Amino acid sequence: MPVLRVSNLSMSFGGIKALSNINLEVERGEIIGLIGPNGAGKTTFFNLLTGIYSPTEGEIEYNLKKRGTSKNIKPHKIIGYGISRTFQNIRLFKNMTVLENVLIGFHNNFRYGLGASVLRLPFFYKNEKEAYIEAMNLLSIFSLSDKADEFAGNLPYGEQRKLEIARALAAEPQLLLLDEPAAGMNPRETQELMELIKWIKDRFNLTIILIEHDMSLVMNVCKRIFVFDYGILIAQGTPQEIQNNPAVIKAYLGGE
């Protein structure tokens, strides 16, 4: 049973087709690379998966924590279905601390009500303390625990990317969507990040889809690759298959 099944998915913005007729499946535990030239529709695909846009046509079926389809999903409910994501242009809460950012990731795990928070009932402290401990654990995985009290906006770029992943993990997803996690990192940082991604995949038992431009990296980490071009899924397969696929070569190198 695939965790994600996309059938006949199309999305257009005012007559311009960003995605047309995408069909694909993702199995549990895979690391999938999503590649394609700029404007191929990769981020739009993520936005559809996370309910930010609703598709013009077609359907997405999730089979994670809860079953669901793109028809009944609102962006804030997507976490409840076991899907969490990062953003291409880093969307951290810049004026909140590193720790608070991760705590927002735990949002759905808090249980105390308004009354308990206003009256500071013991349950409030218990719940906050548990979350605090878990958040600090998560931060230590990303070597960010000593920066817990700094504003997220003050972190260097690479650490902001890591914090965004930590925040996404806090939501305890089963499917993690990473939108260009290594963008703007130097080769050494990228290498470290990729090792980390492989490690968290096993540690948290994740399925991961990642959008990335660095080919060597995608080929190295991903077991399977989807290639988008002009909103069409032009190829899918193992890194070897993709490297030798004439359609992919044409899409990247151009020419007839």
- Binding residues (CB under 8 A) for other proteins: these are 13-14, 43, 47, 50, 52-53, 75-80, 84-85, 87, 91-97, 99-100, 103-108, 110, 112, 114, 117-120, 124-125, 128-129, 131-132, 135, 148-149, 167-168, 171
Quickly count: other Cβ atoms within 10 Å of residue 73's Cβ.
Answer: 20
Least separation in angstroms between residue 93's CB and other proteins is 4
Least separation in angstroms between residue 63's CB and other proteins is 19
Alpha helices (H) along 79-233: 98-105, 114-119, 122-141, 157-170, 187-203, 215-221
Between residues 176 and 235, which has the closer beta carbon with respect to other proteins? Answer: 176
Tokens describing residue 70: 């793109």
Task: Classify the C-alpha dihedral 189-194-196-200 as positive or negative.
Answer: positive
Least separation in angstroms between residue 50's CB and other proteins is 6
Determine the Cα–Cα distance for residues 86 and 61; give it in Å rounded to an integer.
20
Between residues 115 and 156, which has the closer beta carbon with respect to other proteins? Answer: 115
Give the residue among 225, 208, 99 at the shortest CA–CA distance from 163.
99
| Number of helices followed by number of strands (H, E) in the chain | 9, 10
Between residues 105 and 231, which has the closer beta carbon with respect to other proteins? Answer: 105
Least separation in angstroms between residue 55's CB and other proteins is 14
Between residues 157 and 252, which has the closer beta carbon with respect to other proteins? Answer: 157
CA 122 vs CA 115, 118, 119, 127, 136: distances in Å: 12, 12, 9, 9, 21
Quickly count: other Cβ atoms within 10 Å of residue 150's Cβ.
Answer: 14
Between residues 61 and 150, which has the closer beta carbon with respect to other proteins? Answer: 150
Determine the Cα–Cα distance for residues 164 and 46; give it in Å rounded to an integer.
16
Q: Which residues pair with 10 in a beta bridge?
A: 57
Least separation in angstroms between residue 159's CB and other proteins is 17
Give me the DSSP letters along 122-142. Answer: HHHHHHHHHHHHHHHHHHHHT
Between residues 12 and 191, which has the closer beta carbon with respect to other proteins? Answer: 12
Between residues 46 and 221, which has the closer beta carbon with respect to other proteins? Answer: 46
Least separation in angstroms between residue 250's CB and other proteins is 29
Least separation in angstroms between residue 113's CB and other proteins is 9
